[in-house]
Structure 1
Amino acid sequence: MYEALERAADVCGPLEQALAAPDAAVRIGTLRQALGETAERVSAATAQAASDYDRDAMQKIYRGLLAAQRIVATLHETNAAAA
């Protein structure tokens, strides 16, 4: 379920380095896409959750992934504006 994030982490490296890299737009785009893809997979898996507790936990993960996607975008925009 988290394969896209693992691949993005391998490609992008730590977030601080990705934000400062000359190809930051590409790296951040890769990371945002991976967060979105993972959120979609978690959302799809939520329907198959075995219990209400599991479903609630997966919904929290889903919302966290979407929030992370927005945070990464904001950090990139702020960093680009400061440069």
Structure 2
Amino acid sequence: MAALSIRDLDDGVKEKIRIRAARHGRSMEAEVRAILTSAVADESPQTDLFSALTERFTQLGGIDLNLPARATRPRAADLPE
């Protein structure tokens, strides 16, 4: 298990965590663990950029692009050896 040290925590925040921990019947350390676990569990799954953009613009109605036909065939890159 990993250990985490938090510096410069506001005294008011520490007091609120202490009160919250007491309400839930656990130590401050256990309360902070529960808070952090809950915070990262609520994150939505990561999607790649293309999927995120597609989803975003689909909601807006999408866009149609008129792409011109290629005049020449694609060629391989000429890389130096």
TM-score by length of structure 1 reads: 0.27
Question: Which structure has more helix as a fraction of its residues?
Answer: 1
The one of the two structures with greater contact order (alpha-carbon pairs below 8 A, sep at least 6) is 1
Larger Rg, first or second structure (1 or 2): 2
